[in-house]
Amino acid sequence: MTSISVRMDDELKQSFESACESMGMSMATAMTIFAKRVAWERRIPFDVTAPPDPFFSESNQRALAESEAQMRQGRVVTKTLEELDMLENA
| Domain range summary for the chain, segments of one domain joined by + | 10-41, 54-89
Whether the predicted pLDDT of 5 surpasses 90: yes
Distance in angstroms (rounded) separating the CA atoms of residues 34 and 29: 9
pLDDT (tens digit per residue) in 15-73? 999 999 999 999 999 999 999 999 999 999 998 888 889 999 999 999 999 999 999 99
Burial of 60-88, coded b for 16+ CB within 10 Å and e otherwise, reads eeeeeeeeeeeeeeeeeeeeeeeeeeeee
Reported pTM? 0.55
